[in-house]
């Protein structure tokens, strides 16, 4: 308890990560004012485990808005650090929890880790095989505390992530257009682009009615199929096992398709 913010709300998909980060920003502003912060800060913004659409507040009550809320919350954290007195000596490490057998992830053998801060290679995508233990070892090396056990002592730090020549960095959070369809008090923009969810909160509440959203990782296998059919309509559910195709070879083309689709359906709000 002496090291925990009692006002930082725990796991609850009905409560937007936007408000969790607002509380963290309040405390971080105090650190910035005193120019003194803990050497290690741990945050859990858990709404990549979306759900509980019926009880969700502020209109963040669909798959798209809850995922966008989680993404924007992470962006707000990076933005706050980038514009703080600690920007030159703070590394931000984000990992998308466990991959949990593919039910709520693409593949049980992989997950995503993101790094931001000074000395981080910029615009780089690395496919080196690392585990969470490698990530822990990396944090230990940055803090200079050394390993705490045999597993992390034998793990290599994620050194390929870093470039000692890149000392300066910046970041500005971008508001996902679909969040403008919610009631969150987002920063105003002159020409905000509004994207609307494909399905309603009532739809998702219905098709997910048999799921347990009281804690992370209590969903069942019907979750993935309900998610797929809600977003993909009549497109066939992927055959198992997954193909294993290397999507890096056409990465820019795939991203361009996503951007073109987004631009075609986005409405501008003045």
- Residue 21 and residue 173: Cα distance in Å, rounded? 13
Nearest of 45, 48, 18 to residue 180 by alpha carbon: 18
What pLDDT, in 10s, does the model give residues 59-84? 999 999 999 999 999 999 999 999 99
Q: Quote the tokens at residue 172.
A: 């500005």
Q: pTM to 2 decimals?
A: 0.88
What pLDDT, in 10s, does the model give residues 118-175? 999 998 888 888 988 999 999 999 999 999 999 999 999 999 999 999 999 999 999 9
- Residue 242 and residue 84: Cα distance in Å, rounded? 43
Average pLDDT, the chain: 88
The mean pLDDT of 17-27, rounded to a whole number, is 97
What pLDDT, in 10s, does the model give residues 172-209? 999 999 999 999 999 987 667 888 999 999 999 999 99
């Amino acid at each position: 308890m002496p090291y925990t913010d009692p006002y930082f709300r725990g796991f609850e998909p009905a409560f937007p990560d936007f408000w969790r980060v607002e509380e963290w920003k309040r405390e971080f502003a105090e650190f910035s004012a005193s120019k003194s912060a803990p050497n290690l800060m741990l945050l859990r913004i858990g709404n990549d485990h979306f759900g509980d659409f019926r009880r969700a507040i502020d209109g963040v009550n669909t798959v798209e808005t809850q995922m966008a809320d989680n993404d924007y919350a992470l962006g707000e954290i990076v933005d706050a650090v980038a514009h703080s007195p600690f920007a030159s000596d703070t590394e931000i490490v984000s990992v998308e929890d466990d991959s949990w057998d593919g039910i709520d992830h693409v593949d049980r053998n992989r997950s995503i880790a993101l790094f931001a801060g000074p000395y981080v290679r910029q615009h780089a995508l690395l496919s080196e095989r690392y585990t969470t233990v490698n990530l822990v070892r990396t944090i230990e090396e940055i803090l200079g505390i050394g390993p705490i056990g045999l597993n992390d002592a034998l793990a290599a730090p994620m050194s390929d992530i870093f470039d000692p020549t890149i000392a300066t960095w910046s970041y500005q959070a971008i508001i996902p257009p679909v969040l403008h369809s919610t009631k969150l008090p987002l920063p105003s923009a002159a020409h905000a682009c509004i994207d609307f969810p494909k399905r309603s909160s009532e739809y998702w509440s219905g098709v997910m009615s048999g799921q347990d959203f009281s804690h992370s990782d209590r969903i069942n296998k019907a979750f993935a199929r309900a998610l797929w059919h809600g977003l993909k309509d009549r497109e066939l559910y992927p055959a198992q096992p997954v193909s294993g195709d290397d999507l890096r070879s056409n990465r820019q083309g795939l991203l361009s398709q996503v951007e073109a689709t987004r631009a075609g359906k986005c409405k501008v709000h003045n």
